[in-house]
Amino acid sequence: MAKHTRQSSQEAADAIQGTGSIPRVSQNTGSFKAVDQGTGSIPRVGQSTLASLPMVDPGAQQALRRTGTPVISFKNVTKIYPAQPKKAALDDITLDIYPGEFVFLVGHSGSGKSTFIRLLNRELVATRGRLLVAGEDLTAMRRWRIPYLRRNIGCVFQDFKLLPNKTAFENVAFALEVIGKSRHVVRTQTPEALRLVGLESKMDKKPDQLSGGEQQRVSIARAVVNRPPLLICDEPTGNLDPQTSLGIMRLLERINRNGTTVVMATHDKEMVNSMRRRVIALDNGRIVRDEDQGVYGLDD
């Protein structure tokens, strides 16, 4: 049993290496400052506060677009899985994502969204082309460098990747402990992150005592607890009710406003249409649309 626990913890640690980070992506990205700039700390956010958070004017976001060095750069990237050698999961993708952008990645199932996301954190390696993330060439990266890359990236997964034998507090704290944060930092930043996603009353609950939506919010808290400069989200609101989804999206938007680049794969048509950010649409592994202030724009 102890051996199994150690193995589970190591697997979680490997995953969590992509959930938060100390270093900045580059001087051009800006830093993730406290969400509440007036108090210098992450605010305690309740449901009423969430409902009143202002959405960013998409026009103002445009001023941040496409300046400086890209934080993500695909250069003729193709990914082919051995099981389907005649069908590329991604086919000759070329695009740049710049510091401070909030990008929605949309497309039907099988369009290439998951492959796109998995390439970004070096879970997969491109078959052809070059992919640069945070100035690192992922197509040429040695394996020992991967954990350092992932410390620049926060990730929110569909399957949560929570440790079942740890409480919500311990799951979020583990993301800080695994990168060597002090006890003081763990004790202060962990409850702040859980308050940020509205789970201050569930800190002592284990995953099997939480709903699916609550487990997803623990995952989000873990992803942002160390204020990463790049946040990659794979359907972060997929298991949440509409009101909670709205609150989470507005929080992610505020994080984005403070310099964090956000790339989000989603099927949430209403959210994409209401936020009007950059939209990249994939179909059969190719980019079919890339537009500023875009809409979901896919047939149901």
One-letter amino acid of 46: G
- Residue-wise burial string across 223-250, b where 16 or more C-beta atoms lie within 10 A, e elsewhere: bbbbbbbbbbbbbbbbbbeeebbbbbbb
Residue-wise pLDDT tens digits, 33-65:
333 333 333 333 333 333 333 444 554 554 445
For residues 3-31, average pLDDT: 45
The pLDDT value recorded for residue 108 is: 93
| The predicted structure's pLDDT at residue 151 | 77
Distances (CA, A) of 222 to 162, 266, 272: 9, 20, 24
User: For the segment 78-107, what is each residue's pLDDT rounded down to a tens digit?
Assistant: 999 999 999 999 999 999 999 999 999 999
Indicate if the pLDDT at residue 258 is higher than 80.
no
Question: How far from 2 is each of 6, 9, 175, 239, CA to CA, in Å?
Answer: 6, 11, 21, 32
- Residue 164: what are its φ and ψ, rounded to 5°? -65, -25
- Dihedral angle over CA of 212, 273, 113, 8, nearest 10: -20
- How far, in Å, CA of 75 to CA of 139, rounded? 11
| Alpha-carbon span 116 to 89, nearest angstrom | 9
pLDDT score recorded for residue 228: 83
DSSP 20: -
One-letter identity of residue 182: S
More confident residue, 213 or 146: 146
Select the more confidently predicted residue: 12 or 30.
12
pLDDT above 60: residue 16: no
What is the spatial distance between Cα 203 and Cα 187, in angstroms, rounded to a whole number? 12
The predicted-structure confidence for 198-252, as pLDDT tens digits, reads as follows 899 999 999 999 987 888 889 988 998 887 889 999 988 877 778 878 877 887 8
What pLDDT was estimated at residue 252?
Answer: 85
Residue type, position 177, single letter: E
pLDDT of 217 reads: 84
For the segment 11-26, the average pLDDT, to the nearest whole number, is 46
Most confident of the following: 110-114, 150-154, 158-162: 110-114
Fold of 2-291: Rossmann fold (3.40.50)
pLDDT at 10: 57
Q: What is the pLDDT of residue 224?
A: 84
**Dihedral over alpha carbons 253, 255, 258, 262 (to 10 degrees):** -70
pLDDT of residue 35: 36
Q: How confident is the model at residue 9 (pLDDT cuts 50, 70, 90)?
A: low
pLDDT at 148 over 50: yes
pLDDT range class, residue 297, cuts 50, 70, 90: confident
Average pLDDT of span 22-42: 35
Residue 275 has pLDDT above 90, yes or no: yes
Task: Calculate Rg over the CA atoms of the chain.
Answer: 18
Give the pair of three-digit tokens for residue 48. Answer: 């009423």
Largest CA distance in the chain: 56
**DSSP count for the chain of H helices, then E strands:** 10, 10
Question: In this structure, are residues 228 and 24 in contact, taking their beta carbons and an 8 Å threshold?
Answer: no
- In this prediction, residue 179 carries a pLDDT of 85
pLDDT band at 17 (very low <50, low <70, confident <90, very high): low
Decide which of 157 and 102 is more confident: 102
